[in-house]
Structure 1
Amino acid sequence: YRKVCRCANALKALGIRKGDRVAIYLPKIPEQTVAMLACARIGAIHTVVYSGFSAPALLTRIEDCQPRMIITADVGYDRGKVVPLKPVVDEAVAHSPCIEKVVVVRRQKPGVTLSSPKEIDWDDWLKVENSFCAPEVMDAEDPLYFLYTSGTTGKPKGVQHVHGGYMVGTYLTTKLVFDLKDEDVYFCVADPGWVTGHSYIVYGPLLNGATILMAEGKPDYPTPGRWWDLIERYGVTIFYTTPTAIRLLMKYGEEWPKKSDLSSLRILGSVGEPINPEAWLWFHRVTGGKLPIMDTWWQTETGAILVTPLPCTKLKPGSAARPFLGIEADVVDRAGKPLPPNTGGFAVIKKPWPSMMRTIYKDPDRYKVYWNTIPDCYTAGDVCRKDEDGYFFFMGRADDVIKVAGNRIGTAEVESALVSHPAVAEAAVIGKPHKTAGESIKAFLILKQGFNESPELIQQMKDHVKHELGKIAVPQEIEIVSS
């Protein structure tokens, strides 16, 4: 709390005021949460960019929302390696005249050299500030944050959430879905660069006064027992993870969870993509065979969980159960007609809910598509079926969005990155089933005259996508075709 207030006062000292935008490009460290909450406290609008995105991807988001400053770090750490972050920001800021200040969390010693007065050290920035900052008086519909998510066109869309309804949705779903109590230690493995980290690391749990655990890095480094060890070490009681992570840990076998005392756990959760029954059953078994798994369905646009079991609900492996309190969801055909049990159709929400996004920033026509695709409904873009008990089984996307390890990647984004390579005439991208990640990216390319297929050229194209979008968007397969 004191650090959030110091950060809020430091923002104000730089002239940041209600309605100003602040970009946050940080790894999963406490400063990331502090910066988000400090912005919210003074009414500034934060836009968190996942630290795995490249400089061009960061620049795209900066150009759209025009933040006055950016908060970053010198490096992140992943699988024992140092991941430079400030050079990415330097490249983006060089083309961003709107950025007035760059605040840097210096994690390495000696610290990276900063260019004064534009670049400021995080610790120096905060240490002179008062530890109390009165919160700004806000209207319930004032913007809280923009979060950019992939869509069916090349440009990421800036989903806008507001203070009032978003807080209601995240507070209530965290409290009821996870049966949250004062004594709980809550561990969500998401990154606040994505919406799950916003809603179920930062806002929902902290609105409930929860003790949260954050962990930078991967679940299988330095050993596949890392998360299980953290659960034992910190007495974690609620563990919210992803199907991709569960499938990754499955590969290493059941001996790793058996090495740790998991008796503190009482509630499990899954998020990001449909969980296959095999992964559900494995997760249930290795954690003791008695714990309820909250298989939750929701989206960046919904802000909070919409379809989910509760801890008292009868569970079915692979099902997100029924709509949350007050949510009217259904499975319909393209005309909006409800479908009979066990018939695949489109997931829709029939009435507004508190935490729903209010618009797409600078693109209201794109926002209307959600409500106009199927008459009088919010169309989620997911394919789904309901069984005879009204339980929802989500089956994947109905549009050109690929979910890689639970992260949304627009095919148009990857195609645009590929055709910007000098050797590529045309590109088409699809999602392929992947045993661990759910889906992987495959690209089909037509080369320009004068270029011939080679392993070196394929690698160049993968490196090009990595530079344009980031590692997460690199195709696992590239196939050259003649037409």
Structure 2
Amino acid sequence: MAYIWHPTREYLENSNVARLMATLSVSTADELRARSVADIGAFWDAVVQDLGISFTTPYSQVLDTSRGIEHTEWYVDGRINIVDAALTRWARERPDAVALAHESEDGTVTRMTYGELAGQVARVRGGLRARGIGKGDAVALYMSMTPAAVVAAYAVASLGAMLVPLFSGFAASAIASRALDACAKAIITVDGTVRRGKAHDMLAQVRVARSECPSVEFVVVVDNVGSENLALEAGEVAWNELLAADPDGRVEDTAANDVLLLAYTSGTTGKPKGAVHTHAGFLTKVASEVAYGFDISPGRTFCWVTDMGWIMGPLSVFGTHACGGALLLYEGSPDMPDAGRLWQVAERHRVSMLGVSPTLIRSIKPKDGSKPAGDLSAVRILGSTGEPWDPDSYEWLARDVFDGRVPIINFSGGTEVGGSFLSPYPVEDIASCSLGGPALGMDVDVVDDNARSLRGSIGELVCRQPWPSMTRGIWQDDERYRESYWSTFPGIWRHGDYALADDEGNWFILGRSDDVMNVAGKRVAPAEIESVLSGDPDVSESAVVGIPDPKKGESVWAFWIARGNVGDDEVVAARLRRAVADELGKPFAPTQVVRVDELPKTRSAKILRRAIRAAVLESDAGDLSGAENPGAVDAIRATVRSLR
């Protein structure tokens, strides 16, 4: 029988979302969803009140669509700086409460209270202001997940400057392209980081990138790994110099719609897109995610293994602190030195909300499905994003590891969304692998090619009304913004995902629109086939792509990674083909089943299927700057050539 989460009395009566339901006089999650989009202005005003978000100047109206839905303004005439709402408030009310903890791959742990965090932010703010950083300036952060990254983010935002967080695995060219687009005035970096026991020299990448960025006036360097004989070059400033500055107590009084951050997302073609997020809009959305979906409040610890360069990084920082919680940062690989590391971190820090990805769980799940050792009783919520789940891995995590007592809040959104489109809540039944339904305040739908609602069949994921953290555009490129999100269905946001809302009310993301295959006239998502493959005991991970076929339109190619030692690859391949044919039908049985050592992924564990497809087709794989292991693409290309 398929696993279903049923909420306990604790969640139904004492969770943050239950409090909101009581305030709005609704009794179910679906009633709350309906109320949240019936009058989006009233709902997002209620969120501000419920979460105690204080504006220095009250807003005159919640939203204004007079310039068109594409350019909606939120919290009109209001003034607020995200730093006051997420940090200053708690430094004043609960200065001795833990704001963040950090564990590095070697096991070193540090902690910082709200009072200590605010103190460091004030000093770094003073140091940056003295060096000419002010309102509207762009400052890039190229940092691993360290306390300094959090301090830097708050210091930049408190000046009214624009934060430009960059993925810590970027090479110099990717850093330069984004810093150039944002006209960054400064870059803050660490000297390096350690991942899988190997030191990575990040400062060297910045030095190369800086030579291509004339707008960058100086670079701040954090001594993170104790680089031997670190000698700063001209135009470089030691982080400790900023920490030694006199505290600056003035947080810039920013307007609600002043730019907080530029979050860059890569595409298959063209330069990276800088999604524009504002102080009030981003704050309200991420605070609602962390409060209502992940149930964080003072005294609880939030941990998501992520990177500041992905939207989950800023969401984790600002969302957790807006709710008064403690943020646990983990720097390194979550499976080092072995597959038990994630559970040890959760136990050691008494984590309340543990964020994972399906790919991570598949990679650390034992072949025999045994339960990991340790005390995980503090975990109340599991978060998930990045990839569709397969039932075997989902149910092992929910039923076997956590004994069915913890809901999996599997949510999906994006960089431009500033949070989630779809999310379940701990007060409702959650079916295995489901995303629940539309996130609160999100008028999400699944539609056909004529924008008509679909239920029970695959369609495009869209949003019919604006939301506070909807990107205000692509930085300096309004035409590209309109073309990317608004040109398919005028007046409706098209996100580029295929989704399914089934007849029982469960929602599923099936992959990017350009990943979904058309086999013999029927759309099929990679996740549907990969879910079948993952049920084989010899398969650790898999990825499926569609390749042009003169008869079928597209044929299915499957790539798989072995779980431990296996027998003859051809025997496994034949078994996998039969399994897909039996489960989904003979037309969908893979034409090719190829064993590989690794699949190309981002550090947030998203599989880069477009790059795999390009390897098969001998075409350009596009922008791989966000890939953790771009060499996997070349390895797959070589393997496919050997088959021809």
* 1:50/1:192 contact within 8 Å kept: yes
**Aligned letter for 2:196?**
R
Counterpart for residue 476 of structure 2:
362
Counterpart for residue 240 of structure 2:
123
1:434 Cα deviation from its structure 2 partner? 5.5
CA distance in 1, matches of 2:229, 2:238: 9
**Aligned letter for 1:300?**
T
Structure 1, gaps ≥5 residues long: 405-410, 412-429, 448-460
1:269 equivalent in alignment to 2:437:
no
CA distance in 1, matches of 2:194, 2:255: 39
> For 2:420, what is the secondary structure of its paired residue?
coil
1:477 equivalent in alignment to 2:593:
no
Counterpart for residue 153 of structure 1:
269
1:389 Cα deviation from its structure 2 partner? 2.7
Cα displacement string for residues 65-121 of structure 1 (whole angstroms, at most 9, x for unaligned residues): 1101101111110011111111111111112111110111113154411024x1111
> For 2:153, what is the secondary structure of its paired residue?
helix
Counterpart for residue 260 of structure 1:
374
Of the three residues 296, 302, 306, the one matched with 1:180 is 296
Counterpart for residue 64 of structure 1:
181
1:125 Cα deviation from its structure 2 partner? 2.3
Of the three residues 4, 7, 16, the one matched with 2:133 is 16
Question: Structure 1 434/296 Cα, relative in aligned 2: closer, same or farther at 3 Å?
Answer: farther
Question: Structure 1 162/400 Cα, relative in aligned 2: closer, same or farther at 3 Å?
Answer: farther
CA distance in 2, matches of 1:348, 1:327: 10
Question: Structure 1 480/258 Cα, relative in aligned 2: closer, same or farther at 3 Å?
Answer: closer
1:376 Cα deviation from its structure 2 partner? 2.4
> For 1:19, what is the secondary structure of its paired residue?
coil
Question: Structure 1 305/379 Cα, relative in aligned 2: closer, same or farther at 3 Å?
Answer: same
CA distance in 1, matches of 2:319, 2:309: 16
Counterpart for residue 415 of structure 1:
none
Counterpart for residue 332 of structure 2:
217
Cα displacement string for residues 408-459 of structure 1 (whole angstroms, at most 9, x for unaligned residues): xxx9xxxxxxxxxxxxxxxxxx996656866353214769xxxxxxxxxxxx
* 1:330/1:338 contact within 8 Å kept: yes
CA distance in 1, matches of 2:128, 2:313: 22
CA distance in 1, matches of 2:169, 2:389: 24
Counterpart for residue 233 of structure 1:
348
1:253 Cα deviation from its structure 2 partner? 5.6
Question: Structure 1 352/472 Cα, relative in aligned 2: closer, same or farther at 3 Å?
Answer: farther
* 1:403/1:439 contact within 8 Å kept: no
Note the 1:5-404 alignment, pairs <5 A.
5-107=122-224, 108=226, 110-116=228-234, 118-130=235-247, 132-199=248-315, 201-251=316-366, 254-255=369-370, 258-284=372-398, 285-339=400-454, 341-369=455-483, 370-399=485-514
Question: Structure 1 307/218 Cα, relative in aligned 2: closer, same or farther at 3 Å?
Answer: same
CA distance in 2, matches of 1:43, 1:394: 36
Counterpart for residue 439 of structure 1:
607
1:289 Cα deviation from its structure 2 partner? 2.4
* 2:267/2:623 contact within 8 Å kept: no
* 2:191/2:227 contact within 8 Å kept: no
> For 2:180, what is the secondary structure of its paired residue?
helix
1:43 Cα deviation from its structure 2 partner? 0.4
> For 1:309, what is the secondary structure of its paired residue?
coil
1:473 Cα deviation from its structure 2 partner? 3.7
> Structure 2 length normalisation: TM-score?
0.64
Cα displacement string for residues 235-278 of structure 1 (whole angstroms, at most 9, x for unaligned residues): 111111111111111156655x5321111111111111222222
CA distance in 2, matches of 1:40, 1:10: 14
Question: Structure 1 349/470 Cα, relative in aligned 2: closer, same or farther at 3 Å?
Answer: closer
1:325 Cα deviation from its structure 2 partner? 2.1
1:223 Cα deviation from its structure 2 partner? 1.8
1:33 Cα deviation from its structure 2 partner? 1.3
> Structure 1 length normalisation: TM-score?
0.85
1:153 Cα deviation from its structure 2 partner? 2.2
Counterpart for residue 416 of structure 1:
none
Question: Structure 1 5/472 Cα, relative in aligned 2: closer, same or farther at 3 Å?
Answer: farther
**Aligned letter for 2:259?**
P
Cα RMSD over matched residues?
2.7
CA distance in 2, matches of 1:403, 1:140: 41
**Aligned letter for 1:281?**
E
> For 1:191, what is the secondary structure of its paired residue?
coil
CA distance in 2, matches of 1:111, 1:349: 53
Cα displacement string for residues 134-179 of structure 1 (whole angstroms, at most 9, x for unaligned residues): 2101111111000110124231111110111111111112101112
Counterpart for residue 86 of structure 2:
none
CA distance in 2, matches of 1:152, 1:379: 17
Identity %: 34
**Aligned letter for 2:327?**
I
> For 1:213, what is the secondary structure of its paired residue?
strand
Question: Structure 1 471/212 Cα, relative in aligned 2: closer, same or farther at 3 Å?
Answer: closer
**Aligned letter for 1:317?**
S
* 1:22/1:45 contact within 8 Å kept: yes
**Which protein shows a greater Rg?**
2
* 2:176/2:213 contact within 8 Å kept: yes
* 1:152/1:400 contact within 8 Å kept: no
* 1:72/1:86 contact within 8 Å kept: yes
* 2:269/2:623 contact within 8 Å kept: no
CA distance in 2, matches of 1:383, 1:128: 51
* 1:152/1:399 contact within 8 Å kept: no
* 1:54/1:469 contact within 8 Å kept: no
> For 1:439, what is the secondary structure of its paired residue?
coil
* 2:266/2:623 contact within 8 Å kept: no
Structure 2, gaps ≥5 residues long: 1-117, 517-524, 528-544, 546-555, 562-598, 600-604
CA distance in 1, matches of 2:266, 2:139: 20
CA distance in 2, matches of 1:333, 1:196: 30
Deviates more, 1:322-331 or 1:393-402: 393-402
Question: Structure 1 164/13 Cα, relative in aligned 2: closer, same or farther at 3 Å?
Answer: same
CA distance in 1, matches of 2:386, 2:134: 34
* 1:141/1:164 contact within 8 Å kept: yes
Note the 1:454-473 alignment, pairs <5 A.
471-473=628-630
**Aligned letter for 2:269?**
T
Question: Structure 1 472/141 Cα, relative in aligned 2: closer, same or farther at 3 Å?
Answer: farther
Deviates more, 1:8-17 or 1:106-115: 106-115
CA distance in 2, matches of 1:172, 1:44: 24
